[in-house]
Amino acid sequence: MSESEKSALGLAKWYDLFSRGARDWLRHDEKVRESVREHLPQIIAGGDVINENARTVRVPVRMLEHYHFRLRRTAESQGVGQGAAKPGDVLADPSADQGSRDKGPGGQDQGEIQLLLEIKIDDIVDWLWEEMQLPNLKARVGPSQETDWIREGWDRRGARSRLDRRRSFKELVKRRGQHAGPAGFTDEDLRFRQLARRRQPAIHAVVFFLLDVSGSMSDRDRKLAKTFFFWVVQGLRREYRSLETVFVAHTTEAWEFTEPEFFQVTGTGGTVASTGLNKVREIMDERHNPGRHNIYLFYASDGDNSVGDHAEAHTALVDIAQKACYSGYVEVASGLSRQLATETGRLFAEIASQGHAAGSYVINDFDDVWGAVRHFFTAEQKAIEGPT
């Protein structure tokens, strides 16, 4: 039988069945992912990976190298070439053009290939929560009227659309086992899925992001805040089936924005924190019932608040803190290390000392973002467990 006849008959050769190259490539890929995973906080701390709406993050990585003993690279190496060339001819000059360099003699370098690894944000959050041992937040369950249909058991009668074929077939097989000989389906065999109503605990959450966009907040400050907010959303989304986000920006006034607009906003002028806090309070009272929602507030600012605003901001913040599961303050202070010795820093310290669930953290750099996430989520856990 010739090869073509064999393949026509479907007698595939062993090498048609799998690709060893692809198998080993997948293993390489797995190893890359492992090493990316190890360096994840550094990699994603950079603001560039974040992409609104995207559920994945793209991380540029190099291929792994399997190391061998090699001689030290020298600045100059010799090779043999072929063609029309005289001693002294310059065949390539990087100052003239970059691309024409051929492979060096005996060179093992095959040109750098960069991979763009696409990682699901959900995976990253899972990894990080494991790795950083971030406690999982427990939802505060309020009294709830919500109900949901869930599956519960089987019955012999039901709507055609709820017929469970697998289950029914099992019944048929059972019956066949008892009575020898062929037997077809009877009505006795049919099983239908049943549904029941169940009360569901409240699993809604709303997180308010309040951003100071006054003149003193630089682009970089806003980007730091954005990166922080992004991971907070991811962290909370892990816990709540439905997470609502509200974006409020303020200078001496406050406005609510949509997410894409929010991070583009720049403002000028001074800072009056109470306007922002009052806006949050207003929206909260309007739309969110603390009994049904888990409420979070995160406020990012450089900390400069006008001194005369203290009393009013305090009142607003206390009111919010009473309803919220947690209120957090990140001080984005690129270049400065004031360690929360600011007007706003004091404000949050006060309400925390009064027993409200609140905390503060300073972000100077993208590397600090993870520290902040960890800080707040650890603190949040304590706040929930503490009083109960």
Instruction: Compare residues 23 and 287 and give the one whose CB is closer to another protein.
Output: 23
Element housing 243 (H / E): strand 242-250
Instruction: Compare residues 33 and 220 and give the one whose CB is closer to another protein.
Output: 33
66 touches another protein by CB under 8 A: yes
Judged by CB under 8 A, which stretch of 68-76, 295-303, 328-336, 367-375 contacts another protein?
Answer: 68-76
Instruction: Compare residues 67 and 149 and give the one whose CB is closer to another protein.
Output: 67
Do strands 293-301 and 114-120 pair parallel, antiparallel, or not at all (unpaired)?
unpaired
CB of 41 to another protein, least distance (A): 24
Exposed e or buried b per residue across 89-108, where buried means at least 16 C-beta atoms within 10 angstroms of its C-beta? eeeeeeeeeeeeeeeeeeee
Number of Cβ within a 10 Å radius of residue 52: 10
178 touches another protein by CB under 8 A: no
Q: Which of 1, 75, 159, 307 binds another protein (CB under 8 A)?
A: 75
25 touches another protein by CB under 8 A: yes
149 touches another protein by CB under 8 A: no
Q: Show the tokens assigned to 370.
A: 């993870």
* Contact yes or no for 199/144 (Cβ under 8 A): yes
Judged by CB under 8 A, which stretch of 106-114, 228-236, 241-249, 253-261 contacts another protein?
Answer: 106-114
157 touches another protein by CB under 8 A: no
Length of the chain: 388
Interface with another protein (CB under 8 A), residue total: 60
4 touches another protein by CB under 8 A: yes
165 touches another protein by CB under 8 A: no
- Residue in this structure with the two tokens 């997410």, named with its chain if needed: 259
Q: Which of 1, 9, 10, 21 binds another protein (CB under 8 A)?
A: 21
Instruction: Compare residues 114 and 145 and give the one whose CB is closer to another protein.
Output: 114
CB of 281 to another protein, least distance (A): 55
* Contact yes or no for 40/59 (Cβ under 8 A): no
Q: CA–CA separation, 106 vs 200, rounded Å? A: 68
26 touches another protein by CB under 8 A: yes
Q: Which of 17, 53, 98, 157 binds another protein (CB under 8 A)?
A: 98
The full DSSP string for 286-315 is HH--TTTEEEEEEEEE-S---GGGHHHHHH
The residues with which 212 forms a beta bridge, in sequence order, are 250
Angle at 116 between CA 113 and CA 119, to 5 degrees: 150
Q: Show the tokens assigned to 306.
A: 């006008």
6 touches another protein by CB under 8 A: no
CB of 35 to another protein, least distance (A): 12
* Contact yes or no for 211/247 (Cβ under 8 A): yes
**Residues in the site for another protein, rule: CB under 8 A?**
2-4, 13, 15-16, 19-29, 31, 63-94, 98, 101-106, 108, 110, 113
